[in-house]
Structure 1
């Protein structure tokens, strides 16, 4: 995967939005059909291997082994995979409609770190787009009137997941300054595989498990979209500003999921989700119209 234009970050970010949107719409099918979410994690870790091999081959099988590259790559991978593992814990103990809005605010962490530590800035359109995207994020999984858990046993893990994924996105951008996107993704894959035995151990094998096609087979197809979307996101951070990529991807993916659910799964969003869809559409348009990072930097140096 190589960049051919200054808008490469937008292309990669939109690929992530589409793939993660489809993945989000169908990710619950395997657990619903008797294949535990912990085993879904194991399948996801394995689906990371093919795209990792493809990009490594495109890079001439050159893996950056410098200490900084290894540290960044493993940190990115462990933050992402560890957050996913902790998400399983939170969802088992609390209401998903409250947990996911908390986690979806992870771009706030990314934006804050990028602005403070990398001095990233954006124009007026980008700033408005970021604000609208952040306003849209909590609406997609919020269900007023539902009975939710009252214990902090799910809230604290959800906050930790939000922090992990926000920091992960920042590291993903920072790592692109010191190593290749190909190496980053390979180390992400390694990190995900390292935690697979933990997910396996968390699985309750005393309960019935669907080992048929609509179990691990369906999970493989769905999680492959997740893996390729993650690869696209790495390249989006390579070529674009974190403060633009993070809100676009994190608001756009739930938007795509909502639209797909509306069109294919016959799920009609409520008024609050429709508001979120509108906000995300406008946010995505503004972020797409924002002058590209390289153009801005060139203008500043003239």
Structure 2
């Protein structure tokens, strides 16, 4: 394979098809016509002697060769983009930029209020977009520069990413302030198991970290309510006798009675994740420093 003979202008097309899985959307992203995208793909197929993508009912599916080369292609494109766009020192006070974050609703609760308050003072031209990207898609979205950062648990196998721990959050049991057990000095395991509980999970079924810890003790709690998001669960707690096992950083935001758990459960580690190709980007470096500073 003679990579030096390939027109380097074709690789942004490869990246656009890989990211969108669709020739029309790739053309829209690149602001060119679909025939131009098809022609570029045909040239790449001849140069690399591989189909690169196959048509499926779900869109253009990458071949094994495409999957193997895309991390390096995306890293190279990101480095080139940052070299072109960050020729001058980043000036927060005058910058016009959109910060794109992937995080769940609990991370949004912890991060967005103080972050927006800070940005409003020092970088009023910086806007923020927050949405959740499934964990298995994070590396691809960060490499493709569709995301700036993700807030998630550590991803030790993602060698393309850099990670910075923000906070180690331990769990507590949250009850309404006038709950029958609110006056207790502490909560025993039997009292905890006698309660009816709220379980927060985006999945339809399956145990959570609390249930796994209890299963190791040969015990089981009673789930009365299963919900998708952490934001609604404390509101239910404040109106009922239900209990919620929740990270302390969220529990302290409500007028609730919180107890230390009467059993061991792993803490929740929040990490800031970004692609290595963004390390030297001035704007990216400044923005990640602002997020990290929120937790110091």
Q: TM-score over 0.5 for the alignment? A: no
TM normalised by structure 2 equals 0.21
TM normalised by structure 1 equals 0.20
Name which one, 1 or 2, has greater alpha-carbon Rg.
2
Structure that is richer in strand per residue: 2
Which protein has greater RCO, CA pairs closer than 8 Å, 6+ apart? 1
